Amino acid sequence: EVQLVESGGGLVKPGGSLRLSCAASGFTFSSYSVNWVRQAPGKSLEWVSSISSSSRYIYYADSVKGRFTISRDNAKNSLYLQMNSLRAEDTAVYYCARDHLSVGPTDFDYWGQGTLVTVSS
Amino acid sequence: EIVMTQSPATLSVSPGERATLSCRASQSVSSNLAWYQQKPGQAPRLLIYGASTRATDIPARFSGSGSGTEFTLTISSLQSEDFAFYYCHQYNNWPLTFGGGTKVEIK
């Protein structure tokens, strides 16, 4: 069974940093691109960042470019999101999601349950 | 950036009735369009990809159509478990973008 489990969320002050993790299991992690998608309270979904299977290709939304860094460790079946210079508008549930197809960009067929990040003083 | 516009924002439907949700792209996304269902407190669930292909284990009452800039998700006969939020998602161009969502509620 494919599973994605996020961790690392919490309360952080504006300007602070946080590192999210996503542990993958039930599939060959190193064969898939993976993504971070966030959802602010009561709002729609917003794509944040994508990383290809070998980490060769990385993409960011303009809203986080220069502040967030996506990375992965295929040996540990893990995805990460380093978030720096956090702002109130970064408050959201952060989901990791797997690419459906091997040739991207593509839709997302499996999602984690999400981890809540709250940026507030 | 491709803007995805969903309508209506809220759709009130009685169980057993048909629901039709729309998604419009600000420029062509070919057939690179997915639909997701999300219930409160849960992660999104993939329903449709490639504009019209049902994902694994998705009931046949869900169908998608369209290409280019106009897309439709149809739920042929609403069941109680179908009352939820629905989002479209284009993956034709970076940045990937989602629509604002349609809430399907019980009439």
Please give the average per-residue pLDDT across A88-98, as a whole number. 98
Spatial distance between the Cα atoms of A34 and A59, rounded to a whole number of angstroms: 11
Q: What is the pLDDT of residue A102?
A: 77
pLDDT band at A6 (very low <50, low <70, confident <90, very high): very high
Residues B22/B25/B29/B30 CA torsion (nearest 10 deg): 50
Beta carbons of A45 and B55 less than 8 Å apart: no
Spatial distance between the Cα atoms of B89 and A55, rounded to a whole number of angstroms: 23
- All residues of chain B having their beta carbon less than 8 Å from the beta carbon of residue A108 are 34, 36, 44, 46, 89
Q: What is the pLDDT of residue A104?
A: 78
pLDDT band at A103 (very low <50, low <70, confident <90, very high): confident
Tokens for A42, please give them: 């009561």
- All residues of chain B having their beta carbon less than 8 Å from the beta carbon of residue A100 are 46, 49
3 state DSSP class of B15: coil
Spatial distance between the Cα atoms of A120 and A83, rounded to a whole number of angstroms: 15
Residues B64/A46/B101/A21 CA torsion (nearest 10 deg): 80
